[in-house]
């Protein structure tokens, strides 16, 4: 980001950032501008922060509904029991809000821990976290002088467990196209038969995607209006996938099945080949060199790596590889033959397994033929995932 700023770009981050400080120093809002952003409007999975405070002040009638939506693990955050200047106990507020929430009858299995993970949005779409993120990004586009280049980090929280898309998007999902989970109906399925719940869970996930698609459409429309569209590059990517109850697991958990580590990466923009796909192995580290490769002036502003021995000619200046040649449809040689995936997360955050969490570190090497995963320090026996 600092490279972009140095090169004269205006930078903005909207939504989920996940940078330090994250958990411990959340209130008052952390200042992420030191990372190289000119404008930041941050809101995360735990819902606290700017968006939460805006709802509490401007839409208090919906505050309880919003406090029913954070996942249960948020009550483990250190500041959750004493939030803001008033030192409000959000854990207590969240539990009460969840208890009072009228969950949809489709997922009412008589077991509350099962119903908290997926339901239609319990408050108006116009004030949703997703909409709030879009609005701030639109303002950023409007406020930036049209002759100044801009970089927008637009990071939505949803779709993410707990899934809660606005109800109107459920009607747009064609349920017949959604497959049943991997392993269901085979000898490898080790969970109870909850197919109707799982199908509804998946339907809500896709409804949230349609909502996301609509929101991104608003951004594209605005770029068109201000005359930036034909000069804009887009990178669509996610930080992780979603099990959607494949293998009877939900969320990203701490497993590295393909559903979790194979995420979408779409790059579009002027001069790039349209509608083509590529099956080479790419990693998140490729995004930085790709962005630096999008405009000829950017690379010269990027700091060179420090080394006591100096950097020789041809030495890369950052990790990863630019994807621009691939996106233009050019042939590349000597590309990586596997990916390394790492995660630090909870073992199971499925709505069907609340209360069975354990933090784990995991390393995975995935090539075309094999997946090899190690969870150091885990001593309860062989991993099954």
Partner 1 sequence: MKGTSFFDLTKDPNEFVNVVHDPAYQETLQQLMKEMMHRIMLQEFPIPPRDLVVIGAH
Q: Does 290 bind partner 1 (CB under 8 A)?
A: no
Binding segment for partner 1 (CB under 8 A), chosen from 46-54, 162-170, 192-200, 313-321, is: 313-321
Subset of residues 102 to 131 that bind partner 1, contact rule: CB under 8 A: none
Size of the site for partner 1 (CB under 8 A): 42
Minimal distance, residue 299 CB to partner 1, in Å? 14
Cβ proximity to partner 1: between 117 and 289 the closer is 289
Minimal distance, residue 75 CB to partner 1, in Å? 28
DSSP string, 225-294: HTT-GGG--EEEE-S----TTGGG--SSTT---HHHH---EEEE-TTSPSS----S---GGGHHHHHHTS
Minimal distance, residue 243 CB to partner 1, in Å? 12
Tokens of 117: 């993970």
Q: Alpha-carbon Rg of the chain, whole angstroms?
A: 22
Question: Which of residues 274, 307, 331, 333 is near partner 1 by CB under 8 A?
Answer: 307
Q: Does 280 bind partner 1 (CB under 8 A)?
A: no
Bond from prior residue into 183 cis (ω within 30 degrees of 0): no
Contacts of 366 (CB under 8 A, 6+ apart): 256, 258, 261, 281, 338, 339, 341, 372
Cβ proximity to partner 1: between 144 and 373 the closer is 373
Q: Does 262 bind partner 1 (CB under 8 A)?
A: no
- Name the DSSP letter for residue 338: E
Question: Which of residues 54, 268, 318, 346 is near partner 1 by CB under 8 A?
Answer: 318
**In the beta sheet, which residues pair with residue 365?**
340, 372
Q: Does 375 bind partner 1 (CB under 8 A)?
A: yes
Binding segment for partner 1 (CB under 8 A), chosen from 8-16, 99-107, 151-159, 301-309, is: 301-309
Cβ proximity to partner 1: between 218 and 301 the closer is 301
Q: Does 96 bind partner 1 (CB under 8 A)?
A: no
Minimal distance, residue 240 CB to partner 1, in Å? 17
Q: Does 344 bind partner 1 (CB under 8 A)?
A: no
Binding segment for partner 1 (CB under 8 A), chosen from 125-133, 215-223, 228-236, 376-384, is: 376-384
Q: Does 352 bind partner 1 (CB under 8 A)?
A: no
By CB atoms closer than 10 A (0-12, 13-18, 19+), residue 316 is exposed
Strand 39-42 relative to strand 234-237, pairing:
unpaired
Question: Which of residues 179, 308, 333, 355 is near partner 1 by CB under 8 A?
Answer: 308
Subset of residues 236 to 255 that bind partner 1, contact rule: CB under 8 A: 247
Q: Does 57 bind partner 1 (CB under 8 A)?
A: no
Question: Which of residues 110, 145, 192, 377 is near partner 1 by CB under 8 A?
Answer: 377
CB 248 within 8 A of CB 254: no
Q: Does 179 bind partner 1 (CB under 8 A)?
A: no
CA pair distance 78, 269, nearest whole angstrom = 43
Cβ proximity to partner 1: between 148 and 307 the closer is 307
Q: Does 305 bind partner 1 (CB under 8 A)?
A: yes
Q: Does 338 bind partner 1 (CB under 8 A)?
A: yes
CA pair distance 361, 375, nearest whole angstrom = 6
CA pair distance 356, 285, nearest whole angstrom = 32
Nearest to 98 by CA among 68, 140, 130: 68
By CB atoms closer than 10 A (0-12, 13-18, 19+), residue 297 is exposed
Q: Does 201 bind partner 1 (CB under 8 A)?
A: no
CA pair distance 384, 348, nearest whole angstrom = 13
Cβ proximity to partner 1: between 311 and 325 the closer is 311
CA pair distance 168, 144, nearest whole angstrom = 33
Nearest to 206 by CA among 179, 238, 170: 170
Site residues, partner 1 (CB under 8 A): 182-183, 186, 188, 247, 257-258, 285, 305-309, 311, 315-319, 338, 340, 363, 365, 367-385
């Amino acid at each position: 980001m600092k490279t972009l700023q140095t090169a004269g770009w205006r930078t903005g981050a909207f939504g989920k950032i996940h940078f330090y400080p994250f958990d411990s120093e959340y209130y008052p809002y952390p200042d992420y501008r030191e990372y190289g952003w000119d404008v930041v409007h941050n809101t995360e999975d735990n819902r606290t922060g700017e968006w939460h405070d805006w709802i509490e002040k401007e839409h208090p009638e919906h505050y309880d509904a919003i406090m029913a939506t954070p996942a249960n693990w948020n009550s483990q955050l250190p500041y959750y029991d004493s939030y803001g200047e008033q030192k409000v106990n959000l854990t207590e507020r969240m539990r009460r809000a969840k208890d009072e929430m009228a969950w949809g009858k489709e997922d009412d299995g008589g077991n509350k821990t099962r119903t908290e993970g997926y339901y239609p949005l319990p408050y108006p779409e116009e004030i949703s976290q997703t909409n709030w993120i879009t609005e701030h990004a639109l303002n950023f586009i409007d406020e930036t002088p049209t002759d100044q280049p801009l970089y927008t980090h637009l990071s939505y929280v949803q779709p993410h467990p707990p899934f809660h898309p606005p109800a109107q998007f459920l009607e747009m999902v064609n349920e017949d196209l959604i497959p049943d989970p991997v392993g269901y109906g085979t000898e490898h399925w080790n969970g109870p038969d909850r197919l109707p719940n799982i199908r509804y869970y998946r339907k809500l996930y896709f409804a949230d995607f349609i909502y996301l698609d609509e929101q991104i459409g608003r951004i594209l429309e605005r770029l068109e209006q201000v005359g930036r569209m034909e000069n804009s590059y887009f990178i669509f990517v996610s930080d992780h996938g979603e099990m959607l109850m494949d293998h009877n697991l939900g969320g990203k958990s701490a497993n590295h099945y393909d559903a979790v580590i194979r995420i979408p990466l779409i790059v579009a923009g002027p001069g790039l080949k349209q509608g083509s796909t590529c099956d080479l192995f790419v990693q998140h580290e490729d995004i930085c060199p790709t962005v630096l490769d999008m405009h000829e002036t950017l690379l010269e502003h990027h700091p060179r790596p420090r080394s006591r021995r100096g950097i020789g000619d041809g030495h890369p200046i950052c990790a990863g590889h630019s994807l621009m040649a691939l996106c233009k449809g050019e042939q590349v040689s000597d590309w990586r033959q596997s990916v390394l995936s790492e995660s630090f997360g909870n073992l199971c955050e499925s709505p069907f397994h609340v209360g069975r969490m354990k933090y784990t570190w995991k390393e995975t090497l995935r090539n075309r033929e094999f997946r090899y995963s190690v969870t150091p320090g885990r001593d309860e026996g062989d991993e099954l995932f």
